[in-house]
């Protein structure tokens, strides 16, 4: 076994601390394990951490109930809970603290962020918290604002250990060190001992690069004489600032003034590197650890970075390397228009606000929990598993025994596969676990970009993607609707020419911003959309056409290269270790959400609550995501593999997102969950014994009829989960819950939940067909088996007429099967109503589950399940003739021809996998064709 890199840091003089704390983490023994095995030497906390821990878990509920019944208010409850956690953590570190003679083993608690601009109140609260904790190895955190400086000085004079937080600029760091020295000198004049007073100065790093890098990137895209300089400065400013801060540290604490204090027992105020998780996917995930290893320093990291460094850290003393380069970096920033002092002022103001908002939310949350405690408990997740409960509980016990939750958060690929090659791929797909945390620091940039777009005069946004790149934007647009704070959003994820023409009619291109979204940067459809609208704008605006385009992709893709060549307004690079269907909280979801005016902070806050509810220290039997995933897998093993969603109208679009997540993640190796979304609810007698119902109850809506239907299903013995959403922003918590649940289900089923091995097959078939078109000028097509009533059938197995052919096809169903309608037609309300009527007819007569998807969308969603999952599907593929096609620039084909090739390509793929599939061509009149289809189905069903 290779040496633990974390232990090597201590030998190099650096203390590693953890930026995380919650009660279950302490009580489970996880914190003690990190101290003993990884050499952890401290913990920091802040209001954001407590807000997520208290709001996203049940750890504190019993204490809240007791304190509420004692008449305590929200502020008193918070302080009681926080102080209790800090005491428990300091007691775990106390042996280390004593062994190191007080030099380390500290735990930090922050004063209320509402006091960041109030010196006197900060001093009073620091005194109270210090006394309440009553431990020598505690730190009280005070923001390093101008108002905080005299508070630091006063508290040091009184012998209170202080962690000075929210430092960004070098001039302010000098003032903080001065305040510390002044406090020590005053304490010495008071005749008080200095040897038990400790302090750190917390320098925040990644936030600096997050603010500066987009400005530099824009300079690079603009070209000109400063582009090369700007490119060289990207990702360098934070590390340069830290290296120069350490030089200031050596100057101050190596000088005569401190030597006089050291002779009386004083300790230096160590520099602490904070905000050390990497937010830019182009950078190493241990960038802000690796570059800043040096003596007499502290690095406080989140769990993800701690785990990453344990896995692949390379410790060496690098803090004092390239000091001259660091000086050059800061000196040359004005040449590219960046005032570093203004940057640090902005970051300080944003930092104060960033802690203030979650603290206020925490007070609101505690007030609500307090009221609920006095009124009685309310369940957010009601689970009714009936006869299956025993098997599910046994599965949860097994997951707990194998330490599933902690291994999930450590990104252990052996939870899914034992083969090293497969494990390497899985490891590259687990970055979604920490996305809500990482993206919080990207919000200022997204807000600034949105303001830039609006001020440039854009009046509409067209998002162009497929699958995971488009389903989150579809969910946000359809669930939240137009927002007065943002721009109208249209999502294009179909090669249907009529839909593209409709967008052109409704959205003038010269007033639109076009987002081209593709993780790989090679996805056929969004690249074709981009080429079409770019050509239109190029004719009108020449080289300036790029101003109308944004790319969202992974680093190093062809799309990123194209964006730079065409000078797109912006290229947002997402994290490569996040798969498309797990990318809701990456730029793929947040860029369109920002532009349409959604409150991104609120979305991420809701996601973070669920993140903590499913956290690494929450046992499997208490973990909402793991419980749901274990239940789905066990029910599937018992034959109930049709996960059927009951959704209020306001959040029906969630079904599309859930379909892809479940189907593409689990539908492989002949296994899989079959998501059933959008199927109209019915009486219990209609359903077979293969269903697991999930009712997502939106508390702010009218749920009467769905409540009744869910209760009827429960009484009939169907397993049922009821998940409660307070409002539509709770969709964010559900996105995270279902990601955890899907990963868990994949593990239990024994499949890799992060690959999609069968998706490419249909794409290759379509590409081959299009190559033939380019050669021969026509799309090759097999001879139909029937043509009647305006319908043309392909793949039918005999029968004298259409009715008998359909009857024979549907007669091939087996118990536990489902019927899938795959429609390569224009998506609109009329088509939707017609196909839903046919779908209902099939379900109610055959008593089978039904699914419905538009092509080519479903190819990037449920298509993996269709070909790689269990052979339980009867597939009715529907195609139609186009009125007039639209050419794709540079392709010698049109969008509708591409759509036809995609339909035939998937038809061939399904048949190659031995699936039961029938293609029905509806003819040129879609309305008449759908009516004929429904009539034919009705006749075939008798």
Identify the CA nearest to 38 among candidates 62, 4, 89.
4
What's the Rg (C-alpha) of the chain? 30
Helix spans in 56-169 (H): 61-69, 74-99, 119-133, 148-157
- φ/ψ region of 105 (left if φ > 0, alpha if ψ in -120 to 50, else beta) reads left
Measuring CA to CA, which residue among 672, 676, 701 is closest to residue 687? 676
From the list 24, 52, 141, 519, the catalytic residue is 141
CA–CA distances in Å: residue 26 to residues 30, 32, 95, 401, 433: 6, 7, 16, 19, 21
Residue 191 buriedness (CB in 10 A; 0-12 / 13-18 / 19+): exposed
Alpha-helical (H) ranges within 644-791 are 654-666, 704-715, 731-749, 759-776
Q: For residue 654, which phi and psi values (nearest 5 degrees)? A: -60, -30
Which is it for the CA torsion 36, 40, 44, 45, positive or negative?
A: negative
d(CA 124, CA 2): 49
Are the CB atoms for 631 and 721 separated by under 8 Å?
yes
With contact defined as beta carbons under 8 Å apart, do 111 and 125 qualify? yes
The backbone torsions φ and ψ at residue 92, rounded to the nearest 5 degrees and listed phi first, read -65, -35
* Residue 166 CB partners (closer than 8 Å, separation 6+): 143, 144, 145, 202, 204, 348, 351, 352, 355
Give the C-alpha separation, 342 to 542, whole Å. Answer: 36
CA 134/CA 260 separation, integer angstroms: 29
Peptide bond just before 856 cis, omega within 30 deg: yes
**Alpha-helical regions (H) of 254-302:** 256-262, 287-290
The pairing of beta strand 916-921 with beta strand 873-879: parallel
- Would residue 141 show up in a list of annotated catalytic residues for this protein? yes
Residue 191 region, left (φ>0) first, then alpha (ψ -120 to 50), else beta? left
161, 106 contact by CB (below 8 A): yes
Sign of CA dihedral 839, 845, 848, 849: positive
Torsion, Cα of 910, 913, 918, 919 (10° steps): 30
DSSP secondary structure string for all residues of 494-537: ---HHHHHHHHHHS-GGGEEEEEE-SSS--HHHHHHHHHHHHHH
* Cα(437)–Cα(429) distance, integer angstroms: 17
Report the alpha-carbon distance of residue 882 to residue 860 in Å, rounded: 22
**498 phi and psi angles, rounded to 5 deg:** -65, -40
For residues 613 and 500, the answer to whether their CB atoms sit within 8 Å is no
Whole-number Å distance between alpha carbons of 602 and 480: 13
- 542 Cβ partners below 8 Å, 6+ apart? none
Rounded to whole angstroms, the Cα distance separating 204 from 351 reads 10
Give 105: exposed, middle or buried? Use CB within 10 Å, 0-12, 13-18, 19+: buried
Residues assigned a catalytic role: 141
């Amino acid at each position: 076994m290779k040496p633990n890199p974390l232990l090597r840091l201590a030998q190099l003089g650096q203390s590693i601390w953890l930026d995380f704390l919650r009660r279950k983490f302490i009580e489970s023994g996880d914190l003690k394990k990190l101290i003993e095995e990884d050499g952890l030497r401290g913990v920091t906390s802040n209001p954001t951490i407590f807000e997520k821990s208290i709001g996203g878990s049940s750890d504190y509920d019993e204490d809240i109930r007791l304190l509420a019944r004692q008449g305590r208010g929200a502020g008193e409850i918070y302080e009681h809970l926080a102080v209790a956690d800090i005491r428990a953590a300091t007691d775990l570190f106390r042996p280390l603290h004593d062994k190191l003679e007080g030099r380390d083993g500290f735990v930090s608690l922050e004063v209320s962020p509402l006091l960041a601009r109030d010196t006197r109140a900060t001093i009073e609260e620091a005194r109270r918290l210090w006394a309440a904790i009553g431990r020598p190895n505690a730190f009280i955190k005070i923001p390093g604002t101008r108002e905080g400086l005299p508070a630091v000085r006063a508290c040091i004079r009184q012998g209170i250990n202080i962690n000075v937080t929210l430092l960004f600029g070098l001039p302010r760091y000098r003032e903080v060190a001065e305040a510390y020295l002044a406090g020590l000198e005053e304490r010495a004049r008071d005749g008080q001992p200095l040897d038990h007073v400790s302090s750190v100065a917390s320098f925040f790093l990644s936030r600096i690069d997050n603010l500066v890098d987009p400005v530099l990137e824009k300079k690079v895209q603009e070209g000109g004489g400063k582009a090369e300089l700007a490119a060289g400065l990207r990702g360098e400013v934070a590390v340069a600032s830290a290296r120069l801060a350490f030089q200031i540290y050596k100057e101050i604490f190596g000088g005569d003034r401190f030597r006089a204090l050291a002779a009386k027992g004083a300790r230096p105020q160590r520099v602490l590197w904070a905000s050390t998780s990497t937010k830019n996917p182009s950078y190493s995930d241990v960038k802000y650890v690796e570059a800043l290893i040096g003596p007499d320093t502290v690095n406080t990291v989140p769990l993800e970075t701690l785990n990453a460094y344990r896995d692949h850290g390379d410790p060496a003393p690098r803090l004092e390397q390239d000091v001259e380069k660091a000086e050059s970096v800061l000196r040359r920033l004005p040449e590219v228009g960046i005032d570093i002092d203004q940057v640090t002022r902005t970051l300080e103001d944003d930092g104060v606000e960033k802690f203030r908002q979650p603290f206020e939310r925490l007070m609101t949350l505690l007030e609500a929990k307090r009221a609920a405690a006095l009124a009685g408990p309310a369940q957010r997740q009601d689970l009714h598993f009936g006869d299956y409960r025993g098997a599910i509980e046994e599965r949860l016990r097994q997951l707990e025994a194998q330490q599933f939750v902690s291994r999930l958060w450590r990104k252990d690929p052996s939870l899914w596969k034992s083969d090293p090659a497969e494990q390497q791929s899985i490891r590259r797909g687990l970055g979604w676990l920490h996305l809500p945390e990482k993206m919080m620091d990207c919000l200022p940039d997204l807000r600034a970009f949105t303001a830039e777009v609006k001020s440039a005069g854009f009046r509409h946004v067209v998002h162009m993607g497929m699958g995971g790149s488009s389903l989150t934007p579809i969910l946000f647009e359809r669930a939240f609707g137009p927002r007065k704070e943002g721009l109208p959003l249209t999502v294009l994820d179909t090669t249907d020419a009529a839909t593209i023409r409709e967008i052109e009619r409704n959205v003038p291109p010269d007033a639109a911003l076009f987002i081209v979204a593709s993780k790989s940067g090679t996805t056929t459809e969004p690249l074709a959309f981009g080429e079409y609208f770019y050509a239109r704008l190029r004719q009108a605006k020449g080289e300036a056409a790029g101003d109308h385009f944004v790319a969202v992709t992974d680093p190093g893709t062809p799309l990123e290269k194209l964006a730079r060549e065409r000078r797109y307004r912006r290229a947002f690079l997402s994290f490569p270790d996040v798969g498309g269907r797990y990318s809701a909280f990456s730029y793929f979801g947040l860029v369109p959400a920002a532009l349409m005016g959604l409150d991104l902070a609120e979305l991420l806050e809701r996601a973070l609550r669920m993140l903590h509810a499913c956290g690494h220290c929450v046992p499997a039997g208490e973990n909402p995501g793991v419980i749901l995933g274990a239940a789905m897998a066990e029910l599937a093993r018992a034959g109930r593999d049709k996960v059927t969603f009951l959704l209020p109208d306001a959040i029906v679009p969630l079904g599309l997102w859930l379909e892809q997540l479940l189907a593409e993640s689990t539908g492989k190796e002949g296994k899989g969950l079959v998501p059933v979304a959008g199927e109209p609810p019915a009486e219990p007698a209609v359903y077979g014994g293969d269903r697991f119902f999930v009712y997502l109850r939106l508390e702010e809506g009218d749920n009467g009829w769905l409540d009744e239907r869910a209760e009827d299903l429960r009484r009939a013995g169907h397993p049922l989960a009821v998940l409660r959403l307070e409002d539509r922003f709770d969709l964010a918590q559900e996105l995270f819950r279902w990601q955890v649940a899907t990963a868990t289900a994949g593990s239990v089923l024994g499949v890799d939940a992060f690959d999609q091995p069968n998706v490419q097959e249909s794409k290759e078939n379509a590409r081959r067909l299009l190559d033939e078109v380019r050669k021969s000028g026509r799309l090759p097509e097999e001879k139909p088996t029937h043509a009647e009533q305006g319908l043309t059938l392909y793949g039918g197995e005999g029968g004298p007429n259409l009715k008998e052919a359909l009857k024979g096809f549907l007669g091939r169903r087996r118990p536990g099967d489902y019927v899938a309608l795959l429609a390569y037609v224009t998506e609109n309300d009329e088509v939707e109503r017609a196909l839903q009527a046919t779908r209902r007819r099939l379900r109610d007569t055959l008593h089978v589950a039904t699914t419905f998807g538009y092509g080519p969308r479903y190819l990037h969603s449920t298509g993996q399940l269709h070909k790689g999952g269990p052979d339980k599907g009867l597939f009715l593929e529907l195609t139609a003739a186009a009125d007039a096609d639209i050419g794709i620039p540079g392709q010698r084909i049109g969008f509708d021809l591409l759509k036809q090739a995609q339909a035939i390509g998937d038809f061939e793929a399904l048949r190659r996998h031995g699936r039961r599939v029938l293609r029905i061509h509806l003819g040129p009149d879609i309305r008449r064709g759908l009516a004929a289809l429904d009539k034919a189905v009705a006749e075939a069903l008798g």
